[in-house]
Structure 1
């Protein structure tokens, strides 16, 4: 790798060691006898640079690989599922590191509306009357550590209840071990009944009538924490991707960066173990 000054978004050596085997396996399956010339670590560094700074691809610094090359890999890893596979692998490693079962048994479900780019197809965006946002909606499920389990991108006009049905459908297929979920009061009986038919008991966590302003909600704070992690990446402040599938991939790479940092941080013994909030209420076994 050509020597250059490191950017704050660059992967540390230990972070790269977590990701490298999966990308080398991906490359080996497609080598076809050709000698590779692109440094995959630098490609990932460039993707993370875009994610953290929010710049357009063509504005990548010249000491990183050409933007056409980087976007080509980003697109390929989205289409063949490599980005999601890396994400899910690191999630399993982090759950194991935290002393949890590899396959979670509980989830926290929520949604977030964000503005869409001007070049987004009309069919992929809509109007969220509650949040007063025209764009797309991110429907997610996390485990009780705040790690992403399911991510679905829809037009912002899709109601949380309908999006929640899509989320539990995917949970039932992808992670049938999940039998418990928590949601806010925006999810109605239709979604709860649908989840019950799939073997998932959904509990609504509502704000108390006496609560004013921001109040940490039992268990549900984990999904808010995940949205908070996303907000550290300027590319995710709004949905800048033309296609929803690209949006999913950018979020997966942001979470890969976050999880690899947490794994590296714990392996290297840097700092103390993350503080357990009082709202966990003994959920460490989920």
Structure 2
């Protein structure tokens, strides 16, 4: 992390309990070192035990991450950063609209059979990531399921969690794959407007569609599979959820 990045991140981090005289011992490593180690692990897709010696011992880094995940500080940290980016772009910190989409990704040989499936439409054996982003393409809610789980099937849980976490959102855009009873379900159960953005019948070839391109750009940016050290949300039937 550069000094400029650390200057932006540091105020968003929780204050250690011992600094607020709430007990506990002073930590052996600063948060900057711990965050650098976690970023290195995620970017390289390595295991915890493969942490280079330049970083704190892997067990200390893992305990740090596990504690933050248990107390949902990882999600809170992410949400604070997203709010800062939105404010910098001249928007409100909390979004009022979102875009939903899904992408099937080929599973590595190490992915267990119990958590993978075959997406016949894309001819991919692996997992599927379902995301809802804001209008800047920043992540709001994420779910990872087996690739054979349909988009509409996963969308109900994803949208319900979105409504719980982001009460300001009143509108969600989606592609034609979500056509069905979701429009009425969102209106009646979540008081949410669900709008399908479709291609026109006379459109040929690749066309950038309004609103949908934002979430597609986000999925393209995360196309390369990485090893995520845990999820920051609750686990639900059919997939693991992250806020």
Q: CA RMSD in A?
A: 2.8
**Within 5 Å, which residues of 2 pair with 1:110-129?**
110-120=101-111, 122-129=113-120
Which of the residues 170, 178, 181 maps onto 1:179? 170
Q: CA deviation at 1:149?
A: 1.2
- Asked if structure 1 preserves the Cα contact closer than 8 Å seen for 2:98 and 2:135, the reply is yes
Aligned equivalents of 1:79, 1:213: Cα separation in 2:
46
Aligned equivalents of 2:10, 2:134: Cα separation in 1:
25
Aligned to 1:238: 225
- Work out whether 1:225 is the aligned partner of 2:217: yes
Which of the residues 37, 40, 44 maps onto 2:31? 40
Aligned to 1:189: 180
Bigger proportion of residues as strand = 2
Q: CA deviation at 1:27?
A: 5.2
- Work out whether 1:135 is the aligned partner of 2:122: no
Helix, strand or coil at the partner of 2:140: strand
Instruction: Note the alpha carbon deviations across 1:149-178, whole angstroms, 9 max, x for none.
Output: 111222222110011111211122111221
Aligned equivalents of 1:116, 1:43: Cα separation in 2:
29
**Within 5 Å, which residues of 2 pair with 1:132-211?**
132-197=123-188, 198-211=190-203
Structure 1, 145-154 or 202-211: larger mean CA deviation: 202-211
Which of the residues 55, 59, 73 maps onto 2:50? 59
Q: TM-score if structure 2 supplies the norm length?
A: 0.83
- Asked if structure 1 preserves the Cα contact closer than 8 Å seen for 2:101 and 2:131, the reply is yes
Q: CA deviation at 1:120?
A: 4.5
Structure 1, 190-199 or 16-25: larger mean CA deviation: 16-25
The alignment of Structure 1 onto Structure 2 pairs a total of residues equal to 234
Aligned equivalents of 1:212, 1:50: Cα separation in 2:
42
Structure 2 residue ranges without an equivalent (≥5): 236-241
Say which structure, 1 or 2, has more relative contact order (CA 8 Å, 6+ apart).
1
